Chains A and B, each alone.
Chain A
Amino acid sequence: MDELRLDGNAAAGTLGEVFSFEVTTAEYACGGCGRTGRLGGAMVYEVRELGVVVRCPSCDNALIRVAHNRGRYLVDLRGTRYLTTG
């Protein structure tokens, strides 16, 4: 299955299934390089229906991973130092 390199805008629907705030305008601080920015401008590698990986555009560190299967979600945020809602 090919991965699509898009940005945080494309993942807004999926991320909205687990976060109750508007994700595209939320600011992240990357746990890898410290870069801050809006999630809408971060990179997304979308593996279709299995889940979403949001990556830092500077260092490619995985900021957010969301996997979903049969109505259950796994959310991995260890690559994000913090999120501030927009």
Chain B
Amino acid sequence: MVAVRPRRLLWRLEEVVEVVPETPRTKSLVLDVLGWEGHKAGQHVDVWLTAPDGYQAQRSYSIGSAPEDGRLMVTVDRLEEGEVSPYLTDVLEVGDRLELRGPIGGYFTWEEGDGGPLLLVGGGSGVVPLMAMIRHRAAVGSGVPARLLYSSRSYEEIIYRKELENLAARGGSLEVIDTLTRSKPEGWSGYHTRIDAQMLKEVAWPPNESPLDFVCGPTPLVEAVGTALVDLGHDPARVKTERFGATGG
């Protein structure tokens, strides 16, 4: 018998090759990861920071790039009270190095072969791993129908807005449904409340189509949406969730 032992994840120091402002609060960091063995859409990396005074902190950030993109991109939401995210969004520059390990996680992942139809529900930066799935789906020319229900505080805070609009306009069976919870631009005709059971009833695929659901965002959103989907008759084994901490960042 041959024992299959996965390689132990090692910390690696990688160079930031591009910083992309996404919204007033979020930036994407593109890393040059030579020898990256590839990832699945939905996985994350752990980032390890050591301050000049020796203080150390570790955080997890979802990968936003598709496995096919050939580069590693994480999108970081700046949390005001955070210990790590303000450094990543305000201080880190192209040419700096970041200590990270990954890819990590096998539960909250989607590959084309997993099928669908896909319902992706995201709140704020919870859209990041869902974006990796959407980019993967587009990169492989997948015909799996997909809907993204995405809750943002305001129009300006919709991460990846232009790219999502472009992908949805391609007519490749991706639908993007936004809801804005705090402020909306004049003439906004879309949803403007938090995601609730009624909204999910309108947007989600009917249970008899055996949808595959991925829900990611702050813990209260994830728990409310997960419960509502199961109440609507979705198979709990096909409702996958990932919670972001409400504090810490």
Interface residues of A (CB under 8 A from B): 2, 4-10, 12-13, 16-17, 20-22, 24-25, 38-41, 46, 48-49, 86
CA distance A8 to B6 in the complex (A): 19
Nearest chain B CB to A66's CB is how many angstroms away?
13
* Given pairs A9-B105, A40-B108, 14 additional interface contacts (CB within 8 A): A4-B246, A5-B245, A6-B219, A6-B245, A9-B44, A9-B243, A12-B105, A16-B104, A20-B6, A25-B106, A40-B105, A40-B240, A48-B57, A49-B58
- Chain A residue nearest in CB terms to B247: A2
Q: Of B58, B101, B107, which one neighbours A25 at CB under 8 angstroms? A: B107
CB distance A49 to B56 under 8 Å?
Answer: yes
| Complex Cα spacing A39 to B245, Å | 17
Residue of B nearest to A2 (CB): B247
> B interface vs A, CB < 8 Å?
5-6, 8-9, 44, 46, 56-58, 60, 101-102, 104-108, 219, 240-248
* Interface-centre pick from B105, B247, B248 (highest chain A CB count, 10 A): B105
Which chain A residues lie closer than 8 Å to B246 at the CB level?
Answer: 4-5
Which chain A positions have C-beta within 8 A of B104? Answer: 12-13, 16
> Taking each of A5, A16, A22, A86, which has the highest tally of chain B beta carbons within 10 Å of its own beta carbon?
A16
- Which residues from A are CB-within-8-Å of B241? 7, 41
* CB <8 Å contact, A24 and B6: no
Judging by beta carbons under 8 Å apart, are A4 and B248 in contact?
yes
Contacting residues, chain B, for A12 (C-beta < 8 A): 44, 104-106
Distance in angstroms between the alpha carbons of A7 and B243 in the assembled complex? 6
A-B pairs with beta carbons under 8 Å apart, 28 shown: A4-B245, A5-B243, A5-B245, A6-B219, A6-B243, A6-B245, A7-B241, A8-B107, A9-B60, A9-B243, A10-B60, A12-B104, A13-B60, A16-B9, A16-B104, A20-B6, A25-B106, A25-B107, A38-B107, A39-B107, A40-B105, A40-B107, A40-B108, A40-B240, A41-B240, A41-B241, A49-B58, A86-B106
